[in-house]
Amino acid sequence: MSCSRTRNVWAVCKRELGGYFTSPVAYVFIIIFLVLAGFFTFNVGAFFARGEAGLGAFLIWHPWLYLFLVPAVGMRLWAEERKAGTLELLLTMPLTTWQAILGKFLAAWLVLALALALTFPIVITVCTLGDPDKGVMACGYLGSLLLAGAYLAVSSMTSAMSRNQVVSFILSVVICLFLLLAGWPPVTGMLVNWAPAWLVDGVAAFSVMPWFDNLQKGVVDSRGLLYFLSLILFALFTTGVILRGRRTN
């Protein structure tokens, strides 16, 4: 990416970050995420009762926390621009549609990364109580960040579809729920009763959980990284197709 393109992406990113932190959006998300993460880790996940030096009780809840919290952040990416009538102005600026998409996505992803980074007291607690594998913990955080990015890219796509943020939120929750449950044994078991094996395997291949679980366990699989990056790029590419279609209409 050339310097001018990088500057354009960074300019959009800074604009979006300013929008997040000059309004309650980022602060509300971060506070809710930290409170819920702490509650599920220590109360529901019985962190201390497990007697293990690891982040299992913390990371296991992230796919479900992100299912609602990430779409709440991503639903405003394009729906708000369309509702305010500033989408056309943004797309007529001297930058490409892809640069605008990437800048907005990176800004929202940085907010999610900040919320995740602020959970460091849990890491300190684990290190104080035992001698955990630092590599496994780092992989767990990487998996959580990639999962959040995948959900966010889907939310960007649904936000481009509608000017109504509630509709965008519902659509992204439904799609992310499919990605979460696609490989779940009860779902695949139900499909086996009436669908051919190739269809069951095809549906299960869309699931984010096997790759997230691998990273949570410290297993860095290039196929898993490729899965998350492919999902993010596909959703952002679809966002670009939708926006270019509206730009030409």
Interatomic CA distance for residues 69 and 32, integer angstroms? 8
CB 237 within 8 A of CB 155: no
Residue 106 is predicted with a pLDDT of: 95
Question: Does residue 4 carry a pLDDT above 60?
Answer: yes
Summarize pLDDT for 155-182 with one digit per residue, the tens: 999 998 888 888 999 999 999 999 988 8
Predicted confidence band at 152 (pLDDT cuts at 50, 70, 90)? Answer: very high
pLDDT > 70 fraction of the chain, expressed in percent and rounded: 90
Q: How many CB atoms lie within 10 A of CB 205?
A: 11
The pLDDT confidence band at residue 245, using thresholds 50, 70 and 90, is confident
Mean pLDDT (the chain) is 85
**What is the spatial distance between Cα 134 and Cα 136, in angstroms, rounded to a whole number?**
5
pLDDT tier, 1 (very low <50, low <70, confident <90, very high otherwise): low
What digits encode the pLDDT tens for the residues 60-113? 999 999 999 999 998 888 877 766 666 666 666 677 888 889 999 999 999 999
* pLDDT at res. 201: 74
Give the DSSP letter string of 98-164.
HHHHHHHHHHHHHHHHHHHHTTHHHHHHHHHHS---HHHHHHHHHHHHHHHHHHHHHHHHHHHH-S-
Does pTM top 0.85 for this prediction? Answer: yes
Least confident residue range of 70-84, 124-138, 210-224: 70-84
159 contacts 79 by C-beta, under 8 angstroms:
yes
pLDDT for the residue numbered 86:
64
Structure tokens at 65: 């926390």
- What total of structural domains would you count in the chain? 1
Q: Provide the pLDDT for residue 210.
A: 87
- In degrees, rounded to 5, the angle at the alpha carbon of residue 232 between the alpha carbons of residues 174 and 137 is 95
Reported as a single tens digit per residue, the pLDDT across 13-68 is 998 888 888 888 889 999 999 999 999 988 887 787 777 778 888 999 999 999 99
Question: Six-digit token pair at 215?
Answer: 């990273």
CB 219 within 8 A of CB 138: no
Domain that holds residue 117: 3-248
> What integer pLDDT is reported at residue 117 of this predicted model?
95
